[in-house]
Amino acid sequence: MGLFKSSDKTAGRLDTDRLPRHIAIIMDGNGRWAKKRGLPRTAGHAVGAETFRKVATHCKELGVEYLTVYAFSTENWKRPKDEVDAIMGILETYLHEAIETMERDRVKMKFFGDVSVLSPALRELIAETERISDTFDGVQVNMCVNYGGRSEIIRAAECWARDREAGDTGELTEEKFERYLYSAGIPDPDLIIRPSGEYRLSNFLMWQSAYSEFYFTDVLWPDFNERELDRAIIEYQRRDRRYGMIR
């Protein structure tokens, strides 16, 4: 059995032979983190971006196959323009850096959401990032940008309806419907983590989370680190996943 000792002495041991294949994270708490320190909310987003780098690297080192993060929701456009602009600027900077290091890190990146409304420069970076990473077979990071779970389901239904009109007369099944989701071909998340003390999905992976395990923590996202991720995985490994069956 592969055991990885968590840096938190009270958390126990992480079994690397029983890792979740797919971890999803709602990266929440940047604004509150900044407010507690008398800083602008944009400062929290900048620190949160560094937290994402650390957590993604740790997932890769552990051997997690998929990491999906909620970077910007369809509802986040309602925030002040300077905050939205700062988030987009941070994303653009991150993608520039990711492109430079992709060959070394072998990280595959995909984007969930309607990116058509983003700036031309950002859309070009996203397209280049996906094109370069298509040749890699390492950990896959799915970044949800302008993403909403409900809008994803509506989009999938519309795509299926168009195919139906075009002559696809086959029965609509869950398996067929999933082919129209942004996450097509990717296993559903085994573990969904939400830091910041909130206890809701906030329109994140509504379809895919049907049988996910949830882990909530009061730690704000900028303070989330490798130890906190270990703690979440160890808690996940203590659970008995039954998928509606009796054992």
| Predicted model pTM | 0.91
Residues 8, 15, 17, 76: which is the catalytic one? Answer: 76
Encode pLDDT of 13-31 as tens digits. 899 999 999 999 999 999 9
Domain assignments of the chain as residue spans, ordered by start: 20-136+143-147+211-234, 149-186
Encode pLDDT of 138-172 as tens digits. 789 999 999 999 999 999 999 999 999 988 778 89
Neighbour tally for 63: CB within 10 Å: 13
Encode pLDDT of 82-128 as tens digits. 999 999 999 999 999 888 888 788 889 999 999 999 999 999 999 99
Could you give the CA distance from residue 55 to residue 47 in angstroms, rounded to a whole number? Answer: 13
Does residue 3 surpass a pLDDT of 70?
no
Encode pLDDT of 181-226 as tens digits. 999 999 999 999 999 999 999 999 999 999 999 999 999 999 999 9
**76 catalytic residue (yes or no):** yes
Residues 8, 15, 28, 142: which is the catalytic one? Answer: 28
Write down the pLDDT at residue 168.
78
Nearest alpha carbon to residue 64 among 113, 8, 25, 115: 25
Mean of pLDDT over the chain: 91
Q: Measured on CA atoms in the order 68, 12, 19, 60, is the torsion positive or negative?
A: positive
Instruction: Name the CATH code of domain 20-136+143-147+211-234 (choices 3.40.190.10, 2.40.30.10, 3.20.20.210, 3.40.1180.10).
Output: 3.40.1180.10
